[in-house]
Amino acid sequence: MLVRDVMNRDVKTIGPGETILEAANRMNEFRVGCLVVVQKTRLMGIVTERDILEKVVAMDKRASKVRVSQAMTRDPVMIDEGKDISEAVDIMNKSHIKKLPVVSGQNLVGILTATDLARVQPELIKQISAIMAFPKKGRPVAG
């Protein structure tokens, strides 16, 4: 099965100049845990709930004053829509991420999350469970 068969094509996006307050409101409105940051058609980054917690809330900054560009993860790990989902799972595990923007060439075409993978591939649940257990980006679970 390919990434394009599993990904969500309805990617929620935001511009880098918008505020974190606007980002949080958009995440709440669409009930998503991240927004892909784009400027025109260029993928600039991704802003996740974790980014907001670590870079805004925990730093006691005002969400209405912080720009998305200040809190986003720049140059996010991506995958091509034609890749096999097993490769996507490997990338997510190695990179300690739960959300993976999907591209076709230079164009953003979707997003793949651990939840998407769990929905279509029950045999991958063990690997996906490891992804879901990541406490913070880049920090492996103590065991």
Is residue 14 situated within a structural domain?
yes
> Mean pLDDT score of the chain, rounded to an integer?
89
Q: What letter does residue 36 receive in the DSSP assignment?
A: E
Domain assignment of residue 76, yes or no: yes
Query: Where residue 125 falls among pLDDT bands split at 50, 70, 90?
Result: low
pLDDT > 60? residue 143: no
pLDDT single digits (tens) 54-113 = 999 999 999 999 999 999 999 899 999 999 998 999 999 999 999 999 999 888 999 999
Residue 137 included in any domain:
no
Instruction: Report the domain count for the chain.
Output: 1
Is 142 domain-assigned?
no
CATH, residue 27: 3.10.580.10
Question: Which pLDDT value is given to residue 128?
Answer: 67
Whether the predicted pLDDT of 32 surpasses 70: yes
Query: Distances from the Cα of 32 to the Cαs of 24, 35, 61, in angstroms?
Result: 10, 8, 22
Is residue 143 one of the residues assigned to a domain? no
When mean pLDDT is compared across 36-45, 109-118, 121-130, the lowest value belongs to: 121-130
pTM of structure: 0.79
Number of Cβ within 10 Å of residue 103's Cβ equals 15
Residue 140 lies in a domain: no
Residue 139 lies in a domain: no
- 126 pLDDT more than 80: no
Average pLDDT over residues 120-124: 66
Task: Determine the 3-state secondary structure of 99 from DSSP.
Answer: strand
On whether residue 22 sits in a domain, the answer given is yes
- Which amino acid belongs to residue 14? I
The domain in which residue 99 lies consists of: 3-132
What is the pLDDT at residue 122? Answer: 67
Residue 60 amino acid letter: D
